[in-house]
Structures are given as structure tokens and as C-alpha cells.
Amino acid sequence: MHISWLDHQDAPISTDDLAAVGVYHERLEVGAEDPQPALDRIKRDRGYVTQDIIELRPDTPNLAAIGDRFAGEHLHTDDEVRYVLEGAGIFDIRSADDRWIRVEVAAGDLLIVPAHLHHRFFLTERQQIRCVRLFKDSAGWTPVYRQSAPADAAQ
């Protein structure tokens, strides 16, 4: 995982800035061992009950439309839990003072964006990511778009 302030890339930042808004990160090394016991621990400790795998690739049908769906600032009523098996992705997550924290994830990263925290998601140039998703309630995982956002000079 690599994190930075989107509006000031050289400014100091730490995982405390993510923790301040309830974001959780853990490394679960891919290939070193079966990640399922670690995922089961997270499910048990945090109350996730269902699990699936999502994959986006350059040849995924309607990839541009799927990307657009998550590139707008939104939140969910359930946590967004992603354990990256392969590929990479970029989350922009709102900080406590409503700035963007850019979080780049790759294989082995487990990232939890808590319910009701505004964020957006992009693929990298490779346009490929394969993730395990965990849910408390799969019905709750639908984007709710933000109606008004602060001016964002970095876009």
C-alpha cells in the first residue's frame, strides 16, 4: 500500500490519517500461505458474513461503464472490504478535514473503507484487479453518490 495526500503529494502522511477516519489496512501476503484463515479471522472479528471474488480486466465487458460507476465520490451503507489477490487499484478516501487521501493497493493488501465514508475508486493503467470482497450484508453494498463535494483543484 502506498498513501499520499492528493493535493500535496510531498506532505507527510501516515496510516494514522487513515485510522482517524476508520480505515483499516493489513498486509496478508499472497502466496506465502492460504489467506483464508486470515480472512476468516477478519470476518469473525468484524462481523462479515459473506464473501465473493471480483475481477476487472481490460477485456471485462462494459469496463468503462463499471469504472465510471465507482469513479464518482460515493459511500456505502456497508463497509467496503477488499483483499487484493492480483493487480492493483487506487482508492481516494476523504480525510477527517475532507481532503483526499490517495491509497494505492496491490496484491496482499487488505483495505477496509468503513460504511458511510466518502471515497472513489480507479483502476491503474494496467486495468486489472482481482479481489476478495467481504460483506456484512450484500444487499447494503450499493454506491450512494455525494451530492456536493468541496472544490477539488487536483482533479
Cβ at position 4, least distance to Fe ion in Å: 20
Cα separations in angstroms, 153 against 1, 85, 98, 103: 24, 33, 13, 18
Could you give the string, one character per residue 27-66, with x where binding to Fe ion holds by CB under 5 A and - elsewhere?
A: ----------------------------------------
Question: What are residue 17's phi and psi, to 5 degrees?
Answer: -65, -30
Residue 80 touching Fe ion (CB under 5 A) = yes
Residue 92 touching Fe ion (CB under 5 A) = no
Cβ at position 153, least distance to Fe ion in Å: 23
- What is the amino acid identity at position 139? A
Residues 6+ apart with CB under 8 A from 2: 103, 104
Query: For residues 94 and 99, which CB has a smaller minimum distance to Fe ion in the complex?
Result: 94
Among 46-54, 58-66, 74-82, 96-104, the segment contacting Fe ion (CB under 5 A): 74-82
Cβ at position 123, least distance to Fe ion in Å: 13
Beta strands 80-94 and 50-56 are unpaired
Distance CA 75, CA 56 (A): 20
Residues found near Fe ion in the complex (CB under 5 A): 80
